[in-house]
Amino acid sequence: MADYDYDLFVIGAGSGGVRAGRLAAQLGKRVGVAEQSMPGGTCVVRGCVPKKFMVYGADYGAAIKHAEGYGWKADNVRFEWPVLRDAIQNEVNRLSGIYSTILEKNGAVLHRERATLVDAHTVKLQDSGKTFTAETILIAVGGSPWSPDLPGVEHTVVSDDLFHLETLPKRMLIIGGGYIACEFAGVFAGLGSQVIQAYRGGRLLNGFDAEVRDAVGDVQRNNGIELRFNTSPTRVSKTDGGLITTFDDGTKIGADMVLMATGRRPMTDSLGLENAGVTVEENGAIKVDEYSRTTQSNIFAVGDVTNRVNLTPVAIREAVAMIETVYKDNPTAYDHDDIASAVFTRPAVGVCGLSEGEARRRYGDDLTVYTTGFRPMKNILADDPQRCFMKVITKGEEETVIGVHLVGDESGEMIQMIGIAIKAKLTKADFDRTCAVHPTIAEEIVTLKPREINKTTIVT
C-alpha cells in the first residue's frame, strides 16, 4: 500500500467538507482540509446565514409599521444599515471560527489556502506551493454567482457583495427570478430601497409549482417591488447619475445598484480535475454516481459542486453518506427525493415533494389537489393585505400526499414538519385525523378541502 500523507484530503471547508473532515478525523483518519476563503463556506459566510439575518432585519421594519394596528406607537424610527451589516459580519466571523475549531479539535489539519489537483492522489496548495498525497480526496468547493457576459456587467454586483455594502442603494435593480433574486428583492425593499425586479420569464421562481409562482408575484408586489417580466438586459451603462440598464425590449431602467442574480455555477474552473481523471458535466458540475464517487474511484464530490440538490443540509447528508461508504463498509446513497426547502421571501415559501405540473406528468389525472388562500389573523389588525396560500397534492385512491406547497408566514418552519409526513408517505386521511391547533396558520393544513376543478392540467 502506498504511504500517503493523508487518509482523506478535503478541498473546501463548507458545510459538506467540514462534516466529512470531522467524521473521518473522529474515526482516527489522518485528515487534511484546504479552504481558500473563510471556513463555513457559502452558507455561513455569504449565503444562508447572513441572508437570513438580513431578512429578519427587513421583517423588523415591517413589524414596526404593523404594530400601530395593535396600539403601539413608535416615533422617530430610523434604520442604520452599518449597525446591521457589522453585527451580521461579527456573527459570520464567530461561526466561521467555530467551523475551524471543529476541524482542529478533532485532529484535522486546516490549510488556509486554495488547493488544486495534481493527479488522482496529489493536491497542491496555491500560496505555499506545498504538495500532499492522499488515499481519498473529497471535493466540496461549492458554487459561485454567475453573471451574463454583456457590456457593462463589470458595473454590477452579485449576491456575495451585498453583505459588505458601504451604504444602501436608494434605487436597486435586480436581474433574475430565482430564489436569490426574490429573497434579496424582499430584503432591500424592506430596508427602504426602491426595488425593480426584472426577469426573462413570465413568472418568478422557475421550477416551482405554478400557483406558488403566482403567489410569490403577489408577495413581491405587496412588498412594494415593481416586477418586469419577459425582458433581458443587453447593456449596463455607468453615468454621473448612476447606472442605466438597457433591455432587449428597448426599455431602460435607472438605478444606483444593479444586482445580477442570474444563477450560480459549480466552482470547478482551474481545479485541476482533468489531471486526476475527474469528468465534468457540460454545466461545469462534477459527475458523480449515487455514492458521490466521481469517475476517479478514490475521489468523491458533494454539495453544490455536483449540482444535484443545492442545499446546505443536502451537502451535509451527502458527506455523511460518503463517510459511511468509504470508512464504515456501509455503501450509502443519500435519497434526494422529497427534500423540504424554503425560499425566504417575505413571507416565505415552503415546499416539499412534487409540484402539480410534475405530478400530472408522472401520474396523469390520478390526483386530488387541495388548495386554500386566506388572510392570516395577524394581518387583519395590521391592515396588511398579504394572504397565505396552501396546496396539498395527493395521488391514487389512498390519497398519498406527494407534494405540499406553502406561501405565507412561518412556511419554512411548517414545511420541515410536513416533510416528515411526506417522507413517511402519509395520506390525506392521516392529515385529517390530526387535530388542528387553533388559532394558527398551520391548522389549515389539516382542514383542507379539494379544489373545485382538480383535473385542470398545470404543466409549469
Helix %, strand %, coil % for the chain, to 5? 35, 25, 40
CA distance 358 to 120: 40
* Ramachandran area for residue 270 (φ above 0: left; ψ -120 to 50: alpha; else beta): left
Q: Residues 296-316, buried b or exposed e (16+ Cβ, 10 A)?
A: beebbbbbbbbbbbbbbebbb
Q: Which residue bears the cell 466561521? A: 96
The H or E element that residue 21 is part of is helix 15-26
Active site residues: 438
CA distance 208 to 345: 14
Distance (Å, whole) CA 79 – CA 292: 46
Q: Tell me the C-alpha distance between 386 and 377, whole Å.
A: 11
CA distances, 34 to each of 11, 328, 332, 426, 429 (Å) = 5, 24, 25, 43, 50
User: Long-range pairs for 378-381 at CB < 8 Å and ≥24 separation?
Assistant: 378/66, 378/409, 379/66, 381/69, 381/70
Peptide bond into 347 cis (omega under 30): yes
**What phi and psi values does residue 387 have, to the nearest 5 degrees?**
-110, 165
The span from the CA of 248 to the CA of 259, in Å, is 18
For helices 48-67 and 81-105, what crossing angle results, to 10°? 140
CA distances in angstroms from 204 to 211, 225, 401, 405, listed in the order given: 11, 13, 25, 15
What is the C-alpha separation between 326 and 328, in angstroms, rounded?
6
| Residue 364 identity (one-letter amino acid) | G
